């Protein structure tokens, strides 16, 4: 009985999150992007779903500059 209650406690109450993901997938997988690889589609969906965790463009540029150096600033 305890195991059954634990299983029921982990089930989502609504399907709203799954519906949001499928909605975003439909927008991402348009006819133009139909030829893309599955791993790229998955990456784009993860960016859409977890948009709050996505770094800004400036953060990516700064990280790239720190990792690989900026030749124009080494004078």
> Is the predicted pLDDT of residue 53 greater than 70, yes or no?
yes
Q: Which pLDDT tens digit goes with each residue over 9-32?
A: 777 667 787 788 778 777 766 655
> Which residue is associated with the tokens 């993901």?
21
Write down the pTM of the prediction.
0.39
Q: Of the candidates 33, 64, 20, which has an alpha carbon nearest to the alpha carbon of residue 55?
A: 64
Give Cα separations from 48 to 29, 33, 44, 63 (angstroms). 12, 15, 6, 21
Q: Which pLDDT tens digit goes with each residue over 26-46?
A: 776 665 566 777 788 788 888
DSSP 8-state class, residue 52: G
Write the DSSP string, 12-43: -S-SHHHHHHHHHHHHHS-STTTTS-HHHHHH
- Rounded distance, CA 26 to CA 46, Å? 13
């Amino acid at each position: 009985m305890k195991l059954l209650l634990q299983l029921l406690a982990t089930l989502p109450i609504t399907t709203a999150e799954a519906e949001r993901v499928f909605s975003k997938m439909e927008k991402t997988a348009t006819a133009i992007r139909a030829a893309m690889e599955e791993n790229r589609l998955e990456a784009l969906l993860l960016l859409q779903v977890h948009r709050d965790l996505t770094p800004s463009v400036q953060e990516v540029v700064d990280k790239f500059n720190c990792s690989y150096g900026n030749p124009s600033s080494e004078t």
